[in-house]
Structure 1
């Protein structure tokens, strides 16, 4: 029927699940499948969301991309699809925590705090009230300014580590818990930032082979512009901020 194909969304596995649901719930051996019967059975049984198959990943992907794209309406729709399908609240909340760091990050650091609080709250409370907490978090994240600068920074740094290998820690910033280590020069020439004006003094913290390498570039959000000014005042000549 038209309803059977429409509700399956073109997913053959889901179509078979709906078909099985209808047939198994009817006491009669002969079942005439109509649009009304399909609608009736589906409305009574919302567990048609495949939590292990392709649909599971498609919908969480749509949910995350909607938030990343700053669309709260699409975000709560896909959230509702997961809620109605009985998706694990921890699975949804974990993805929100990841998104808060990866896609919002320094543009609004409070997003990560809220996402982590959301994970703790829904884990404690569970359904049905957890849906409200998830909705609040999803909308907040969708309407937050976006930045992936932190994600790119660690990606760039990891790429450097893979390329340059296990470079030595500069002697001046090595730990020197013993007399021998101090005699070997560990910690020598280290300048304690708080002893200087503005709690800052230029120092070399990277290995000699990659001195001057820059991995972090602030984004264009208002908060990251202030971060750029902070770095520019201290490291403009070295890192080009």
Structure 2
């Protein structure tokens, strides 16, 4: 017989629990599905929140062929074979077959490249599922052709509703006298993961003799024989502990940062996952206040790749302590976000003629590069000239913050540009 989690897998959106921000009445995915036309997208969220189920419901609703590939077991050849089957089996003007790729973050660059043409031409509609941030794991050309929808861990109300459905609708559980006296432990163990919740429920019922099964916190903990607050690298606490780790570095608390890193290590977290977060923190939170932090974080990442584990914990700990005890600045992070916001707002502003490239005679005749001042020809290797588009002259994106390193940088800008860099 199928496991309980598979027996309880929803077959329609009406039975689907959670993710109301995506599939509730009037939500974006619900509208798309109801219209009968969907574009390629990637579902990003922790395990057990309904990514695969949602893809299957969509395929069933649209009555379109549904192909599944796992990034763990499939290669480029498998991808091409599925695409060819989809191409040959599609009728004129019919809805594109759906290609569902589980754990798409594990696809190599060549595997992802092999998808591009089919997705772009509409041979298949790609639905990817990932537990990792797709902006890090999915190649940019493929990501640009997909919308990204974020799925959340199931909330307490969702989990309780799922428990109630399992106890009242499942053909096996309905035959037992199951009393849900306490729910605290079973909800904690599940970590917002529907599949884990149902697996725990099934384990408890199957391991309990007698006509009556009374579910209590003590029974759940005894059956699972582990600390209900233990780190779970696949559950909601995974994200909470990473958050605590990064915020401890940002908050200049090396002891807390080491503690949360130890929790991740003991929980079996991939050291490269930790190292990548350390590199991001070095750029986002320490930034220009201590540029060496990024160098050390990168060095720790490379050391883990070279020397492996457990020895790699030492350079990683060195980098974490260094970052936590460093002065902090997020001026570069704020600066690029401000510049991106301006680009989205003002569009593609023309490049001023003096700083344009003039590789051809025609471009030179049109004035490209005319009037450009080569800074190295001037005292201090600086001369004032316009670099921003005409519409953005005087605009500021980077604002120096109060650290020794950035004060020096800010004072140099003040010396070069004068009034433009005077803070209000």
Is the CA contact 1:68–1:146 (under 8 Å) kept in the aligned structure 2?
Answer: yes
RCO greater where, 1 or 2, for CA within 8 Å and sep 6 or more?
A: 1
Residue 358 of structure 2 corresponds to 176
- Pick from 209, 215, 229 the counterpart of residue 397 of structure 2: 215
Residue 98 of structure 1 corresponds to 280
Is the CA contact 2:303–2:312 (under 8 Å) kept in the aligned structure 1?
Answer: yes
- Pick from 232, 239, 254 the counterpart of residue 50 of structure 1: 232
Displacement of 1:129: 1.2
- Pick from 293, 296, 302 the counterpart of residue 111 of structure 1: 293
Residue 4 of structure 1 corresponds to none
CA distance in 1, matches of 2:363, 2:421: 31
After TM superposition, the structure 1 = structure 2 runs for residues 82-161 of structure 1, keeping only pairs within 5 Å, are 82-161=264-343
- Pick from 229, 236, 240 the counterpart of residue 411 of structure 2: 229
CA distance in 1, matches of 2:267, 2:248: 19
CA distance in 1, matches of 2:275, 2:294: 11
Secondary structure of 1:204's counterpart equals coil
- Tell me the number of residue pairs that the alignment of Structure 1 and Structure 2 aligns: 222
CA distance in 2, matches of 1:81, 1:133: 17
CA distance in 1, matches of 2:336, 2:374: 26
Measured against aligned partners, the alpha-carbon deviations of 1:204-231 in whole angstroms (never above 9, x if no partner) come to: 0000011000111000001111111101
CA distance in 2, matches of 1:125, 1:50: 26
Measured against aligned partners, the alpha-carbon deviations of 1:157-207 in whole angstroms (never above 9, x if no partner) come to: 111111100000000000001111000000000000011111110000000
Pair 1:11 & 2:193 matched: no
CA distance in 2, matches of 1:77, 1:104: 20
Displacement of 1:81: 0.3
Residue 164 of structure 1 corresponds to 346
TM-score, normalization by structure 1:
0.82
Residue 371 of structure 2 corresponds to 189
CA distance in 1, matches of 2:231, 2:312: 18
CA distance in 2, matches of 1:237, 1:75: 41
CA distance in 1, matches of 2:269, 2:393: 48
Q: Write 1 or 2 for the structure with the bigger share of strand.
A: 2
Segments of 5+ residues of structure 1 without an aligned counterpart are: 1-7
Is the CA contact 2:288–2:329 (under 8 Å) kept in the aligned structure 1?
Answer: yes
CA distance in 2, matches of 1:105, 1:151: 8
Displacement of 1:72: 0.5
Segments of 5+ residues of structure 2 without an aligned counterpart are: 1-184, 210-217
Q: Write 1 or 2 for the structure with the bigger share of helix.
A: 1
Is the CA contact 2:339–2:397 (under 8 Å) kept in the aligned structure 1?
Answer: yes
CA distance in 2, matches of 1:182, 1:198: 29
Is the CA contact 1:212–1:239 (under 8 Å) kept in the aligned structure 2?
Answer: no
- Root mean square deviation of aligned Cα: 3.1
CA distance in 2, matches of 1:116, 1:240: 34
* Runs of 4+ that moved beyond 3 A: none
Displacement of 1:42: 5.2
CA distance in 2, matches of 1:189, 1:150: 30
Residue 5 of structure 1 corresponds to none
Residue 12 of structure 2 corresponds to none
CA distance in 2, matches of 1:112, 1:176: 36
